[in-house]
Structure 1
Amino acid sequence: MTVRKGTRGAPRVGWVGAVAVASVLALSLTGCRGSAQSGGSAAAPGITDTTITLGITTPLSGATAGPGTCTVAGVKAYFGAKNADGGVKFGDGKTRKVEIKTYDDAYDPQKSLANFQQMTSDGVFAETSGLGTPTNRAFREAAISQKVPQALVMTGDPLFSNRQESPWQLGLVPIYQNEGAAFGKLLADSGGSHKVAILSQNDDYGKGYVAGFKDAVKGASGIKVVGEQTYEATDTSVDAQITQLASSGADVFVNAMSVTPLTISALQKAQQIGWKPSWFLPSNTSSPTAILEPGKAGAYPGIYSVSFAKAPQSPAFAKDADVVKFLADLKQYGDYKDTPAFPHCMWSYISGATLEKAFSTMTEPTRDSFMSALKNIKGFQAPLMLEGTQVDTTVDGQPAISSVVVQKYNGKGYATAEKFG
């Protein structure tokens, strides 16, 4: 209340004070109405009784635009179909339409930080599904400070799944160590003797991948790492590294790369110099149509990758009910007319289903309620998930999806790899 002095120095309540009293009373009445509607908690920015607005900052231009575009398309496809059916039923009893705002960061951390600042100005409820470790890290501290969720982001960085250090974050995809370990276990279980060469991105992505692989083969006496090289995400060529690794005589190549053009050129360069090992490729750079076909991967004895999502390109899933609906939704609501070349389209569709699962149990229109619901999902088989994988957000240090299936390229798509070789 504003207090003003009268002409004789005696304090009096002026018109400002009267307005303040009236405002307090109005707010109290509004609060009572709000309590009846939303359990007594004031709604967070970006959510009303009828809508919730999510933001996605991801590369929509540049070298990683292919995967980045997919991160938007899958979420839009999932919620576009839900909105067309009337919306999503939330745990507070209300049904809301899900609106998506997208921002292009071109895989540039400075741009992603600026995008986050813009989306908070735009009033989004949460950021979700954005691609990239450096780009998601760029605004992580700001998101924590402002208590804005970074939900189901597409980075395998374990920091995003550490509940103490990242209370407002959660990753979607398996952490790098999980993927690397899956390859190491497959190789170790083969019982054979193999020489391994490693090329990795010089950041947490590459280091985590390599650490997971090495831990898994540590007890296998027949497995020996005979060469290691790194590259920078900004490099335009890895020819020198491929040539150096080829001289090691390795018959297995762990290629922990996240950049599509560099992965293709690595496949091509190795063939040009006559080096044809078996390859282990990360899930995000293993697309049959966008990477393996232009890289002429059929020349190698084996291309292995990991996955948790059904691939529409695979003949095994051509008539799968999940895949048929996904492709229809992608075309109608995701502004994506072709069969996706990158797995990120499927991942972000799974992200949409997981977000809906959290929405269905959040009892108040607040970010706190959302994060509590998001981190208490267990045993959820989202659409498009492979048998043997599931969403479990209850394990500290692990992302929403931590289980993967190792697959081998068969010239058209992937089939489950029962063993190495």
Structure 2
Amino acid sequence: MRIASVVAGIGVIAVLAAGCARGGGGDGGGDGGGEAAASPGITDSSITLGITTPLSGPTAGPGTCTVAGITAYFGARNAEGGVEFGDGQTRTVEIEALDDEYDPQKAKANYDQLKGSVFAMTSGLGTPTNRAWREAAIADEVPQVLIQTGDPIFSDAEESPWQLGFVPIYQNEGEAFGELLATSGEDHKVAILSQNDDYGEGYVEGFKSAIEGADNIEIVGELTYEATDASVDAQLTELAATDADVFFNAMSITPLVISSLQKTQELGWLPSWFLPSNTSSPGAILEPGGATAFPGVYTVSFAKAPQSPAYAEDEDVVAFLDSLAEYANYPEVPAFPHCMWSYMIGATLEQVFAKMTEPTREDFMEQLRTISDFQAPLMLEGTAVDTTEDGQPAVSSLQVVKYNGSGYAPAEAWGE
């Protein structure tokens, strides 16, 4: 399986970006050429970033991608000699990643292990796992940035001064789909199943805000499930009885999405679906779930899909796949978008490093919030990185896309 081979290649416990050269004695010291004392994890020749993310368990597929993409990006940069910082130093970038198995307690333990030796924490997947150590990172003044969760609290500078999310917040995704449905010109009955936490609530909140006042939309059933549930068959059976023609499924657990696609077909209920961006992989979820049986499966995206024939010769995609194979030991086309997202995170971090004039976490956070209209590699046209708007993550622009049997295509109107 892809997951096993990638984890074996990247390493379950720790990952070093290929081509990295340790410098400064490995003690995190060094003055970086500036007057300010250097923060832990940075020397004149290197900077170390930490990641806690699921590298095993049911979310290992996307979790492994959160390490693979950024490892590929900085592996290529390191092979070229390193990344030039704003203080005039050129540094290689090292990645240390620990497996939290999508367990909040393990994520907190991983953070405690890494915080003294890394400059910043980044890219890790998960709302409950990132929340588990958010307050500790604030107290320790350790950056927890460009993480892969749509929880809006991480993009609130007052509530989370040492944090910033990367992917669109849940509300943005739900709102985008709601707007598409509300402007369809057709009447729709909608059934909702959502994860019983901030993740699910955020998606539903955004969706409902977008359809408020739309007289063509009726919510005919709304249920929740727990992230620890092994099955949602009972909820699906109840929702199928509503005969809704649209199913809004705010679900984060990959195996449950696959089994839900299969179960609804067994029930003879074939609505159009909306799925979150992190659980809508064509190869890993939709294909085994038999998604072509439905009139439409929609999600949102801001990244080019390497598996799509339309991007087979795209310059960004070719460079990404080459780096993924060479520096992250990930030779296959990734099934999960998290690989592309973490590659973009690497490119965004390079933009921040280029602005840093002091080797400190404080200067890093200050420069992080100045990135505007950055077209990171692999970004879809019309989307960009912008860290300047408080309350929004680094990426808030996105497109609604529709599954076409092999990949996704833009859905500018309902049914397209």
Q: For residue 35 of structure 1, report the CA deviation from its aligned partner.
A: 11
Checking the alignment, whether the CA contact within 8 Å between 1:35 and 1:41 is kept in structure 2 is no
Q: For residue 337 of structure 1, report the CA deviation from its aligned partner.
A: 1.6
Change (3 A) 1:35 1:345: closer
Per the alignment, in what secondary structure is the counterpart of residue 101 of structure 1?
A: strand
Q: For residue 173 of structure 1, report the CA deviation from its aligned partner.
A: 0.1
The match for 2:145 among 127, 151, 170 is: 151
Residue identity in the other structure for 1:302: G
Aligned to 1:81: 76
Per the alignment, in what secondary structure is the counterpart of residue 184 of structure 1?
A: helix
The answer on 1:234 being equivalent to 2:232 is no
Aligned to 2:88: 93
Residue identity in the other structure for 2:58: A
Checking the alignment, whether the CA contact within 8 Å between 2:30 and 2:38 is kept in structure 1 is no
Aligned to 1:325: 319
After TM superposition, the structure 1 = structure 2 runs for residues 52-131 of structure 1, keeping only pairs within 5 Å, are: 52-121=47-116, 123-131=117-125
Structure 1 Cα separation of the partners of residues 30 and 226 of structure 2: 53
Deviations 1:58-98 (A, max 9, x none): 00000100000000000000000000000000010100000
The match for 1:275 among 262, 266, 269 is: 269
Checking the alignment, whether the CA contact within 8 Å between 2:86 and 2:355 is kept in structure 1 is yes
Structure 1 Cα separation of the partners of residues 375 and 386 of structure 2: 9
The match for 2:305 among 311, 320, 331 is: 311
Checking the alignment, whether the CA contact within 8 Å between 2:240 and 2:269 is kept in structure 1 is yes
The answer on 1:204 being equivalent to 2:195 is no
Misfit runs of 4+, over 3 Å = 34-37
The answer on 1:193 being equivalent to 2:187 is yes
Structure 1 Cα separation of the partners of residues 136 and 289 of structure 2: 40
Checking the alignment, whether the CA contact within 8 Å between 1:157 and 1:204 is kept in structure 2 is yes
The match for 1:136 among 114, 122, 130 is: 130
- Report which stretch shifted further, 57-66 or 37-46: 37-46
Aligned to 1:31: none
Per the alignment, in what secondary structure is the counterpart of residue 51 of structure 2?
A: strand
Q: For residue 36 of structure 1, report the CA deviation from its aligned partner.
A: 8.7
Structure 1 Cα separation of the partners of residues 280 and 159 of structure 2: 31
Structure 2 Cα separation of the partners of residues 37 and 268 of structure 1: 55
Deviations 1:280-320 (A, max 9, x none): 01100000000000000000000001000000011111110
Residue identity in the other structure for 1:170: L
Aligned to 2:174: 180
Aligned to 2:352: 358
The answer on 1:419 being equivalent to 2:416 is no
Structure exhibiting the larger radius of gyration computed from Cα positions: 1
The match for 1:398 among 387, 392, 395 is: 392
Residue identity in the other structure for 2:83: V
Aligned to 2:287: 293
Residue identity in the other structure for 1:389: T
Give the RMSD, CA atoms, in angstroms: 1.1
Structure 1 Cα separation of the partners of residues 268 and 388 of structure 2: 47
Q: Give the gaps of 5 or more residues in structure 2.
A: 1-28
Per the alignment, in what secondary structure is the counterpart of residue 293 of structure 1?
A: helix
Deviations 1:129-153 (A, max 9, x none): 0000000000000000000000100
Structure 1 Cα separation of the partners of residues 170 and 234 of structure 2: 25
Deviations 1:319-362 (A, max 9, x none): 10000000000000112121100000000000000000000001
Aligned to 2:17: none
Q: Give the gaps of 5 or more residues in structure 1.
A: 1-33
The answer on 1:49 being equivalent to 2:44 is yes
Structure 2 Cα separation of the partners of residues 177 and 36 of structure 1: 42
Change (3 A) 1:192 1:53: same
Residue identity in the other structure for 2:89: K
Aligned to 1:10: none
Structure 2 Cα separation of the partners of residues 412 and 35 of structure 1: 50
Q: Give the TM-score normalised by structure 2.
A: 0.92
After TM superposition, the structure 1 = structure 2 runs for residues 216-255 of structure 1, keeping only pairs within 5 Å, are: 216-255=210-249
Q: Give the TM-score normalised by structure 1.
A: 0.91
Residue identity in the other structure for 2:78: N
Structure 2 Cα separation of the partners of residues 327 and 150 of structure 1: 27
Structure 1 Cα separation of the partners of residues 285 and 42 of structure 2: 40
